[in-house]
Amino acid sequence: MFAHIVVFLSFIYAIAITHPLASAHELIVQRRHVRWSALLICWMIASVLLLILNWLSLFRLFAVTTWTVGQVLTYILAAMCIYFACAFPAIRAQPGEAIDMPDYFARNRVPILGAFLLFGLVALLVNVVDFLTGGTAANGAIDRIYRVMPNLVAYMVGLIFRAKWVQWLVVLFVLGRLAYVLTMSIIAG
């Protein structure tokens, strides 16, 4: 069952990662027509890091021998949320048209941060389901629940306050936490 689930989730992740990658490609190709926004680029990077970390986290599920429908559905829901977290920050460029990244972020801040917040809430749900089912994935579920909380607060702060300096604090906090978790995952092997 593990292989079926991982293959299906990997398809969702593969489709999701095309959004920020294609966006980066189009922005580079149209660079003369782009008004750049490092803030939006940071959210694109955060979406890719979130996707990579969650794809890597699937390997801890290898030891799960019995799956409930609830577990499978929560993992699918989490993958769909990551899809939107990757899709919303990705800006599409039309050949020859001006691309205003700061304006795009200002208009799409709520969907971008909302997708990250939704993923955080679903991540809580995934870990609660893992804990309640008591399977192998339950090991460390409570710890993972507590690790999600600071990001949820950050996403909510970013949704509530529009000030640019607040947006920078939020995205740098999120990037820092994602980079830390990725680094610890690499060190742990």
Report yes or no on whether pTM surpasses 0.85.
yes
pLDDT at 135: 58
Q: How many CB atoms neighbour CB 1 within 10 A?
A: 12
Angstrom distance (rounded) from CA 57 to CA 51? 10
Q: In order along the chain (189 residues), what is the average pLDDT of each group of 10 residues?
A: 85 97 94 95 98 88 80 92 98 86 97 97 86 64 78 97 98 96 84
Angstrom distance (rounded) from CA 137 to CA 61? 6
pLDDT at 156: 98
pLDDT at 66: 79
Element of type H or E holding 113: helix 101-133
